[in-house]
Structures are given as C-alpha cells and as structure tokens.
C-alpha cells in the first residue's frame, strides 16, 4: 500500500473515531432531548411535515417492511459510504479529494449538532411511536439501541438524532455517483434511506432535511476549495530534453553551413 493510501485510511479512521466520540460526548439528558424533539415536531406541524406517526405505524404493522427497513438502517449506512469512497479513490482519483472533504466537513457539522442540540428520536418520545429495530432485533445483529450491535448499546448515544447523517451520507453517495451511474439510482438510495429513518422511528423529517443541509454545506465548501487548488506540481514542471536526445552536429556540417 502506498504512503498516500495509508494516510487516507488514517484520516478516515480518525473521522470515524471523532464521529463515535462526539456522539458519546453529547448530553444524555432525555428530558431535555424530548423538549428539543417537541420543538422539532411543532415546527413540522407548522409546515405540515409531521408524518412520522403514520409512516411509523404503517411500517411496524407490516412485518416484511419492518424487517427490510431494519436491515437497511443497520447495515447500508456503514457499508455503502466507505465502499463508494474506496471506489472513488481507486477509479476516480481526480474526484476523490473533493468527495472526501465534503464527507468530512458535512459529518463534522453533524457532530456539532449532536453536541449542541441533543434530540430524542420518535421512538423515545412515547405516545405510540414504535421502535421497529427493537421489535425485529431477533432477525439481525442490532439491539434495542438503534443500530448498535447487541451488547454494545452503551457505546452509542441514542439522542444523536438531529441531523440525520444516515440521510446526509446517503445524499453524499448520490452526489458522488453523479455522471457515473444513472442519477435516479443515487437519489433513490437517498430517498429510501430517508423513508427508512422515519419509518423505523429513529428520526424526524426535519432531521433528514438537516442531514442533507449539512452535507450540502460540506459539498459547497469542498468544491470551492478544490477549484482553488493549483494543478499538481507534476503537471506544471517543464520537460527538458535529455542530452542524449539532442541532435548530433558534426564540425564539417558547421563549416559547410558557414560557406553557404
């Protein structure tokens, strides 16, 4: 593996460590998180976006939908994003820096949101919301602590709902695959992910909107930075002819040229 490859892996591991650490550092006061969630719900009602209860009840009442969405929520967030990042590094190296930076910046903004505004997801609000992952935990590796594997629930913060980086990262995938796959595929992935986080009771609609917003901010900043980066030094160097490639001029040729 090249030195650059090792450096990229170290950077991404550091990002994942910060992602996990910031989630655990966020305030775990459930009462305060419920108040914040209540404010989110009131804002949704103002704009007619409060569809969580209906979608959640429909999913929980449909076993195949509950199982499928649980697998989607617990697996694809952690598989698709790094695979797309690796694919860009291997196959589209020119697009990789901006994509990586957009992911890092958007995730950092999301982590700030977790620390400053801990928000309870619908499943922790009571009032009839179903915890779909908990009800299907016997089918997979997850537990009653969202997508955390069984026995590791204490290592996650369940109040890190605003924004939804599940949706933000899915939107990043759609943006990263532009021009490579049909656009509809990427946006279907992001759209289904948004439906999954709401249907399983893990996020509010505005959490999903905020997830897209922070990643969009990351994309804008990373794209502008990329445009300001000068071409690589290797592309700027002047290629000088080697001495052995120079044409050989004999003395007699010089004399003949002078006579003419």
What tens digit of pLDDT does each residue of 102-158 get? 999 999 999 889 888 999 999 999 878 999 998 998 887 765 555 555 444 444 678
Q: How many secondary structure helices (H) and strands (E) does the chain include? A: 12, 0
pLDDT digits (tens, 9 = 90+) for 169-199: 999 999 999 888 888 999 999 999 999 999 9
pLDDT digits (tens, 9 = 90+) for 199-234: 999 999 999 999 999 999 999 999 988 777 655 443
Q: What is the structure's pLDDT at 19? A: 63
What's the CA gap between 193 and 32, in Å, rounded?
27
What's the CA gap between 131 and 80, in Å, rounded?
24
Query: Could you tell me the pTM of the whole model?
Result: 0.80
Q: What is the structure's pLDDT at 106? A: 95
The runs of H, that is alpha helices, within 73-155 are 77-91, 96-116, 132-135
What's the CA gap between 155 and 20, in Å, rounded?
8
pLDDT digits (tens, 9 = 90+) for 29-75: 889 999 999 999 999 999 999 999 999 999 999 999 999 999 999 88
Mean pLDDT, the chain, whole residue set: 82
Q: What is the structure's pLDDT at 233? A: 40
Buried-exposed string 102-122: b where 16+ CB fall within 10 A, e elsewhere? bbbbbbbbbbebbeebbbbbb
């Amino acid at each position: 593996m090249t030195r650059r490859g090792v450096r990229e892996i170290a950077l991404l591991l550091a990002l994942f460590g910060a992602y996990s650490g910031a989630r655990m550092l966020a305030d775990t006061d459930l009462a305060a998180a419920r108040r914040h969630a209540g404010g989110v719900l009131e804002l949704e009602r103002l704009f007619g976006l409060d569809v969580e209860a209906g979608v959640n009840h429909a999913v929980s009442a449909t076993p195949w939908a509950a199982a499928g969405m649980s697998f989607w929520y617990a697996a694809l967030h952690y598989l698709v994003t790094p695979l797309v990042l690796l694919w860009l590094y291997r196959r589209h190296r020119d697009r990789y820096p901006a994509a990586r930076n957009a992911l890092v910046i958007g995730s950092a903004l999301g982590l700030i949101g977790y620390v400053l505004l801990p928000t309870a997801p619908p499943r922790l609000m009571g009032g009839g919301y179903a915890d779909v992952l908990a009800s299907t935990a016997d089918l997979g590796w997850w537990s009653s602590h969202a997508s955390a594997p069984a026995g590791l629930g204490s290592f996650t913060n369940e109040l890190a709902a605003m924004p939804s980086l599940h949706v933000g990262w899915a939107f990043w995938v759609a943006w990263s695959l532009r021009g490579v796959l049909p656009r509809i595929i990427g946006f279907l992935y992001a759209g289904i992910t948004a439906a999954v986080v709401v249907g399983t009771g893990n996020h509010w609609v505005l959490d999903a909107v905020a997830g897209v917003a922070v990643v969009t901010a990351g994309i804008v900043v990373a794209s502008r930075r990329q445009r300001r980066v000068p071409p690589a030094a290797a592309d700027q160097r002047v290629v000088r002819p080697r001495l052995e490639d120079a044409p050989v001029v004999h003395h007699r040729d010089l004399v003949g040229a002078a006579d003419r």
